[in-house]
Amino acid sequence: MNLELPIYLDNNATTPMDPRVLEAMLPYFVEKFGNAASRNHSFGWVAEEAVDYAREQVAKLINADPKEIILTSGATEADNLAIKGVFEMYATKGDHVITCTTEHKAVLDTCKHIEKLGGHVTYLDVKEDGLIDLEELKNAITDKTILISIMYGNNETGVIQPVREISAIARKHGILFFTDATQAVGKIPVDVNADGIDLMAFSAHKMYGPKGVGALYVRRKNPRVKVTAQMDGGGHERGMRSGTLNVPAIVGFGKACELCMNEMESEAKRLSVMRDRLETSLMELEETYVNGTREHRLPHTANISFKYVEGEGLMMGFNKNIALSSGSACTSASLEPSYVLKALGLGDDLAHSSLRFGLGRFTTDEQIDFTITAIKDTVIKLREMSPLWEMFKEGVDINAIEWAHH
């Protein structure tokens, strides 16, 4: 068996670029190097034409009009532009934003920024399955609410929120609906019209395109949505986002969208079968739990906790061979468990013992076989060394133990 290691199963963090995307980009670095805003010569026209075509490819994937695509440096910038841009543009209407505790940091931190500016933000909790409660959403609305910001698919659990129901509630109250769809676009069908989306952020590097480029979809009619620019300059991107366009990356973004459009359906089938096989095999271990609903989630994502094993330790067991994310992100020196998993009601022990599997276009069945074996072996080995596991097997109620605090 010719299996190249390490195996990459962290496709929710970033994806490798598809070679077909690179091929499309190459001419725009050296020969066709023009600035898309240079209107006086053929170098500029060639670049502008390439951008126009890419914009069409991006728009088509989400069933939008090309004029509704504002090109940005990625989803983080698009999140900022959407939330801050709506907050400023609609200030006379109100200052209240509704979001959710499991959003990406780019949304949560932007909302925190708005609170500093005097805005009001409601952070909805999620249920154990990771979904928001639509009744709670309705109850959170006030006459000052201008924006509902709820992500499409979660980056850690893969949970897909009820976007159409949320947008219907927003529309009924004349409130704009923004969704960070970074994990969803290109993986599952996302249609801004059928889904009732007013603003939507997404990124090329989560869908086999280049890093450093993304888009904010801004609806042009019913309703016509406007955001104030957060980056000022020559009035590029319909005045909403100035700056010389990154032509090669945009060309790559367009190509990546086209490939996703053509291959998404078969790809989703292939990946969900693989993901389910991985999950079913790993669930054969005792005290193993899937985090988030299994019914409403992205086809390529699984988040699993292995009780009585520490996620970081687990990763060290096979780290050289498999690239994964653990639910205890060691940012700096703190071992904080994932805020997304905590929001689902997981205790620290389970949040710390979780692994996120992000399958992708280049994941193979052989890689999944290897992963199943490696993880099972490591979990069993680590549990054998764990005094907690021994106590659990002996029937001790571990939650009742009084730990000595230093």
Q: Is the pLDDT of residue 47 over 80?
A: yes
Same domain as 179, residue 34: yes
Same domain as 178, residue 71: yes
Boundary (domain end) residue, out of 232, 260, 288: 260
What one-character-per-residue DSSP string does 110-171 give? HHHHHHHTT-EEEEE-B-TTSPBPHHHHHHH--TTEEEEE--SB-TTT-BBP-HHHHHHHHH
CATH of the domain at 340: 3.90.1150.10
Using alpha carbons only, give the angle 316, 297, 78 rounded to the nearest 5 degrees. Answer: 85
Predicted pLDDT of residue 405: 63
For residues 52-56, give the mean pLDDT.
98
Check: CB of residue 128 under 8 Å from CB of residue 346: no
The predicted model scores a pTM of: 0.96
Tens-digit pLDDT profile for residues 284-336:
999 999 999 999 999 999 999 999 998 888 888 887 899 999 886 554 445 67
Region of poorest pLDDT, from 132-146, 268-282, 382-396: 382-396
Catalytic sites, residue numbers: 330
The answer to the question of residue 320 being in a domain is: yes
Region of poorest pLDDT, from 100-109, 237-246, 383-392: 383-392
Exposed, middle or buried, 82 (CB in 10 Å: 0-12/13-18/19+)? Answer: buried
Predicted pLDDT of residue 336: 77
The structural domain count of the chain equals 2
Write out the residue range of the structural domain in which residue 146 sits.
19-260
